[in-house]
């Protein structure tokens, strides 16, 4: 049964239905100032992952072992929830101010999208979303991966929304390094929202095609992501010992604990703010309860 209140939470602790899982990312967490970055491109725990898969098709992600932030298995009739997130970062220099983070469940990727082509790139969707099958709350995120891009651009995406309606939307591509989120509104050169634009539905089930109006160069991946929670204005000042920022979902999210499905591929998008500083390291933990 879902855990909805204080009584359910206390019972989970009393009966040992709780797990705390640490995470750590070391060097090469190369997010630029005010730019979202996928931490998977840095070594640590969880392990490095470049989001590679079969080009031209949806590649579902189901986590095992150290693929993503780990959690223990539970009985089929139980619900697992995220109760608390703690995040700390060490900046590469003394002038960074804060860090923002988005904890996500990565449902899959459309990898190796050719940034040197202005042809329509059709995608196949032989495999459905492995979780959140209705697409509600799922967003597409465009990430530069594997090879560097050379210019900003824009383009057109055709997708199927959560109501099974096919829709067409224009999008922008900001210039960014490997691992950077480059989703922006069309004709906007500065970095914008995490998600690519959509124009209908309560989420997205599948992407049918993408076409660049001008070749940005490089290789891209579109992540299909279900955001779970955010940590904003995490202490990020300087290179000294850090003050960890904690989000307690009971008090800060009205007792709504995000459900964590089996196989969830949990990770972070991170954004440093101030001083044009990247991260030297990222660490913290997630606390799960179930019932």
Would you state the pLDDT for residue 188? Answer: 42
In this predicted structure, what is the pLDDT of residue 187? 45
Q: 103-125: per-residue pLDDT in tens?
A: 999 999 999 999 999 999 999 99
Which of 21-35, 98-112, 169-183 shows the lowest per-residue confidence on average (mean pLDDT)? Answer: 21-35
Sign of CA dihedral 106, 110, 113, 118: negative
What is the average pLDDT value for the chain, to the nearest integer? 87
Q: What is the pLDDT of residue 207?
A: 98
Whole-number Cα distances in Å, 175 to 93, 113, 205, 231: 23, 16, 27, 25
The stretch 2-22 carries a mean pLDDT of: 93
Q: Are strands 37-38 and 245-248 parallel, antiparallel or unpaired?
A: unpaired
pLDDT at 146: 83
pLDDT, mean of residues 84-112: 83
Instruction: Measure the CA angle with vertex 184, ends 183 and 186; round to 5°.
Output: 125
CA distances (Å), 204 to each of 70, 115, 143, 262, in order? 26, 23, 17, 21
pLDDT of residue 242: 59
Question: For the ranges 33-37, 94-98, 234-238, which has the lowest average pLDDT?
Answer: 234-238
Decide: 26 and 48 in contact? Cβ < 8 Å.
no
Residue, of 199 and 130, whose pLDDT is higher: 130
The H-or-E segment that residue 103 falls in is strand 98-114
pLDDT of 189 higher than 50? no
Dist. CA 41–CA 49, nearest whole Å: 6
Nearest to 144 by CA among 176, 118, 116, 186: 176
Say whether pLDDT at 192 is over 70: no
* For the chain, percent of residues with pLDDT exceeding 90: 57
Question: What does the pLDDT look like over 120-154, one tens digit per residue?
Answer: 999 999 999 999 999 999 999 999 988 888 899 99
pLDDT of residue 277: 61
Q: What is the pLDDT of residue 93?
A: 61
pLDDT at 269: 92
In this predicted structure, the answer to whether residue 28 has a pLDDT above a threshold of 70 is no
| Comparison of pLDDT for 101 and 279, the residue scoring more | 101
In this prediction, residue 70 carries a pLDDT of 96
pLDDT at 132: 98
Q: Considering the chain, what percentage of its residues have pLDDT values greater than 70?
A: 86
pLDDT average, residue stretch 218-228: 96
Residue with more model confidence, 193 or 117: 117
Residue 165 has pLDDT above 70, yes or no: yes
């Amino acid at each position: 049964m879902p855990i909805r209140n204080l009584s359910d939470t206390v019972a989970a602790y009393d009966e040992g239905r709780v797990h705390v899982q640490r995470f750590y990312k070391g060097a090469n967490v190369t997010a630029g100032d005010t730019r979202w970055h996928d931490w998977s491109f840095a070594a640590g725990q969880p392990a490095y992952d470049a989001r590679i898969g079969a080009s031209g098709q949806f590649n579902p992600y189901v986590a095992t072992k150290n693929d993503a932030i780990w959690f223990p298995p539970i009985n089929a009739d139980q619900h697992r929830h995220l109760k608390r997130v703690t995040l700390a970062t060490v900046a590469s220099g003394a002038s960074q101010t804060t860090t923002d983070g988005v904890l996500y469940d990565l449902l899959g990727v459309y990898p190796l999208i050719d940034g040197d082509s202005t042809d329509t790139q059709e995608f196949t969707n032989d495999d459905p979303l492995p979780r959140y099958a209705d697409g509600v709350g799922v967003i597409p995120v465009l990430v530069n991966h594997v090879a560097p891009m050379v210019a900003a651009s824009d383009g057109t995406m055709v997708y199927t929304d959560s109501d099974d309606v096919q829709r067409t939307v224009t999008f922008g591509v900001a210039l960014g390094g490997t691992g950077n989120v480059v989703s922006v509104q069309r004709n906007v050169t500065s970095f914008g929202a995490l998600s690519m634009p959509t124009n209908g539905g309560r989420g997205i089930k599948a992407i049918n095609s993408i076409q660049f109006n001008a070749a940005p160069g490089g290789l891209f991946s579109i992540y299909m992501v279900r955001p779970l929670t955010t940590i904003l204005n995490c202490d990020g000042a300087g290179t000294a010992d850090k003050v960890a920022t904690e989000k307690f979902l009971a008090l800060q999210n009205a007792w709504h604990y995000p459900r964590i499905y089996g196989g969830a591929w949990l990770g972070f998008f991170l954004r440093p703010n101030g001083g044009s500083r990247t991260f030297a390291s990222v660490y913290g933990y997630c606390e799960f309860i179930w019932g």
